[in-house]
Amino acid sequence: MDQTNELVEISESTEASGQGGRSIAAILRRRWWIIALFVVGAVVVTAAVALTAAPVYRSTLRMQAQALDEQDVTLYTRLNVGGATDQIAVAQANFDDVLRSSLVAWRTINDLGLSISADTLLSGLETTQAGDFVSVSYEGSSPQEAMDVLNKHVENALAYYNELTARPAAAAGQFIQSEAAAQAKTLTAAQDALLQFQLEHNVGDLPREINAVQDVLRNLESERDAALVDTRQADTLATQYNRFAADTEDELTAVEESLATVISDTVEGDAAGLARIDQMQQTVKNLGSEIYGFRSSEQEQMAAAAALRAVIAENESIISQRSADLTRLIGLSSEYNRLVDAVASAQGDQEFLRAKAVEARLKESQSREVGALQVVEPAFLPSAPANPPVLRLILLAGLIALLLAVVVVLLLELVRPSS
């Protein structure tokens, strides 16, 4: 910029002094041969290089990126991996790095038996991105080489990229598998402790057994209460039968006394007296039968009451035993619940780890077998060289040489002005 300003100042000063021969046009006319030499040399060299250059063939394939599920297998905290657009952009950038990896390039060279270096192979690659799509091109010395190298290199790059993206899930899967194995031992130990407790105390499902004992106690208490009511009823009936028998016995005594009096007062041949004696004897017989019935009923009720009291006593004994059993079972509840909770917790952790192991395996398979990028347009066999047109190169070289020559001439005029 400073040199240009100096040239302008030189031009202005020469014009102000009346020396018109020192204008830029005049300078260029005087040193035209330098300009011509630059232009001709550039054109000749460019033409020679372009005409003698070996033909280059370019093959291109197209890939599409897609947003996969989050590949990291998190145990608790979910990672924020951004939206689908961000994931696609990250996948495209990462794949481009893998595509330009020397390791992948050497794999391609070894697979195809090429006699070039990794840098040479990578220099022939070109990638462009447009939305979800990635276009990869490769320039080779022959159509077949261009297509084969591009296909094999993209294939190796995809395999290596999928392997890299599958590593987090694979590592997480290995860790989860080891944790699941340790958790299985913890679960077995918890189950063994619960089983030992059940065998030692002869219990299965403790809450169910407590409920069963409570139900038995309720039934026994109901039976005891019913037996108490029946006992009181039997005692009452026995008392009533005893009173009925006593009253009947008093009546029988009175009838017997009257019968004795009538017998003593009745003379032989007294038909009315004999009839009254027969009647009173029948009454005595009937009263005796009633007394026997009352006494029998009394004995039956007394026997029933005695039997009920025996039932009540037996129920009381069973109730006492069952109450003791209930107290013992309730006392075991704390330890039992602790062991059951330990088994449930171990089972929950085991199921959690099993689900995470399945997730890790699926994500690893997804990364290895599907991947975030898929080839949608395979490489084609180029039908014509991809070298730029010779005329266009010559014109471009001539234009650049012309501009460079003008700058050189002006600089020479600045350093060594011509007379």
**401 within some domain:** yes
The pLDDT value given to residue 3: 41
Each residue's pLDDT, cut to its tens digit, for the chain (419 residues) gives 444 444 444 344 444 443 444 577 777 777 777 778 877 877 777 766 655 555 678 888 998 888 765 655 565 555 455 567 888 888 888 989 999 999 999 999 999 998 889 998 998 898 998 888 999 998 887 888 888 998 999 999 999 988 888 888 888 888 888 989 999 999 999 999 999 999 998 888 989 999 999 999 999 999 999 999 999 999 999 999 999 989 988 888 888 888 888 888 776 667 777 788 888 888 889 988 988 998 899 899 999 999 999 999 998 999 999 999 899 999 999 999 999 999 999 999 999 999 988 888 888 888 778 777 888 888 887 766 654 555 666 677 778 877 887 787 777 777 776 65
What secondary structure, in 3-state letters, does 159-224 show?
HHHHHHHHHHHHHHHHHHHHHHHHHHHHHHHHHHHHHHHHHHHCCCCHHHHHHHHHHHHHHHHHHH
The pair of three-digit structure tokens given for residue 390, joined into one six-digit string: 């010779």
**32 within some domain:** yes
**19 within some domain:** yes
d(CA 306, CA 302): 6
User: Dihedral of CA 368/373/379/384: which sign?
Assistant: negative
**3 within some domain:** yes
DSSP letters along 230-290, please?
A: HHHHHHHHHHHHHHHHHHHHHHHHHHHHHHHHHHHHPPTT-HHHHHHHHHHHHHHHHHHHH
User: Domain tally for the chain?
Assistant: 1
HSE on the CB side for 115, CA within 13 Å?
1
Domain that holds residue 42: 1-53+387-419
d(CA 90, CA 84): 10
DSSP structural state of residue 378: -
The pLDDT value given to residue 20: 41
The pair of three-digit structure tokens given for residue 29, joined into one six-digit string: 């006319």
The pLDDT value given to residue 400: 83
The pLDDT value given to residue 380: 82
Pairing assessment for the beta strands 57-65 and 373-377 based on DSSP bridges: antiparallel
Burial class (CB in 10 A: 0-12, 13-18, 19+), 375: middle
d(CA 111, CA 90): 29
212: left (phi over 0), alpha (psi -120 to 50) or beta: alpha
The pLDDT value given to residue 6: 45
The pLDDT value given to residue 67: 74
d(CA 168, CA 71): 7
d(CA 358, CA 173): 8
Distances in Å between the Cα of 80 and the Cα atoms of 71, 87, 277, 388 are 12, 11, 122, 47
d(CA 288, CA 282): 10
Is the distance from CB of 148 to CB of 112 less than 8 angstroms? Answer: yes
**97 within some domain:** no
Contacts 24+ apart (CB under 8 A), 172-176: 172/72, 172/73, 172/356, 172/360, 173/73, 173/357, 173/360, 173/361, 173/364, 176/73, 176/353, 176/356, 176/357, 176/360
**391 within some domain:** yes
Is the distance from CB of 27 to CB of 409 less than 8 angstroms? Answer: yes
DSSP structural state of residue 388: P
Predicted model pTM:
0.55
Task: Please work out, in degrees rounded to the nearest 5, the angle formed at the alpha carbon of residue 228 by the alpha carbons of 227 and 231.
Answer: 85
**272 within some domain:** no
The pLDDT value given to residue 15: 44
**211 within some domain:** no
